Amino acid sequence: MPLSSIFNDKGLKPKEKTEQIAKLIADNSLNQVDLIAFAMNAKEPVKATCIESLEYATQTNPGLITLDTLHFVINSLQDKSPRIKWESAKVIGNTIHLFPGDIENAVGRLLINTEDAGTVVRWSAAFALGQIIKLKTEINLHLEPAAEAIITREEKNSIKKIYQEALKKIKVVKK
């Protein structure tokens, strides 16, 4: 079933559209190149649903994501739409461990979103950055102090807690 058919089906609720597309991604019935091309030419809500479908699919099977798809979601972190930013960050959090060469690029863009006005955008950036911190790569030399600075300025405890838990997992004792 082509993506346009799913989005034009008025009988499907938004969540059902997301789930249908995620299933197509998961069983390789939908080529990710086609999904990206469709999403790039779509309006913001449709693009966000496409990325959300990737997030659903990568929750249970991160290995299905392609490098091109990862680059697409990393670039989407700069989008104007908050939903596109937060869905992209969640895909990155689910999959970045498979692409160590792209961590630095993702971190730079995620750090920008830690200052976003939207709570969900900041929460999703925290999720992805927390996952990256837990990988214990060289980027932690810069990322740990950045996370500690975010903790001191962040107003939402739910977001602070994500960073605190990630830092706790990599340090035996924090004084």
pTM exceeding the 0.75 threshold for the entire prediction: yes
Return the exposure string of 17-29: e unless at least 16 CB atoms fall within 10 Å of the residue's CB, then b: bbbbbbebbbeee
Torsion of CA 115, 146, 175, 163, to 10 degrees: 50
pLDDT at residue 115 tops 80: yes
Give 23's contacts (C-beta < 8 A, 6+ positions apart): 29, 57
CATH of domain 3-170: 1.25.10.10
pLDDT in tens, 130-157: 999 999 999 999 999 999 999 999 999 9
Q: What pLDDT does residue 2 have?
A: 81
CA distances from 171 to 51, 123, 138, 165 (A): 33, 22, 15, 10
pLDDT at residue 172 tops 70: no
DSSP one-letter string for 148-173: HHHHHH---HHHHHHHHHHHHHH-S-
Across the chain, mean pLDDT equals 95
Q: What pLDDT does residue 139 have?
A: 97
DSSP one-letter string for 32-88: HHHHHHHHHTS-HHHHHHHHHHHHHHHHH-GGG--HHHHHHHHHHTT-S-HHHHHHH
Q: How is residue 114 annotated by DSSP?
A: T
- What is the phi/psi pair of residue 12, to 5°? -95, 135
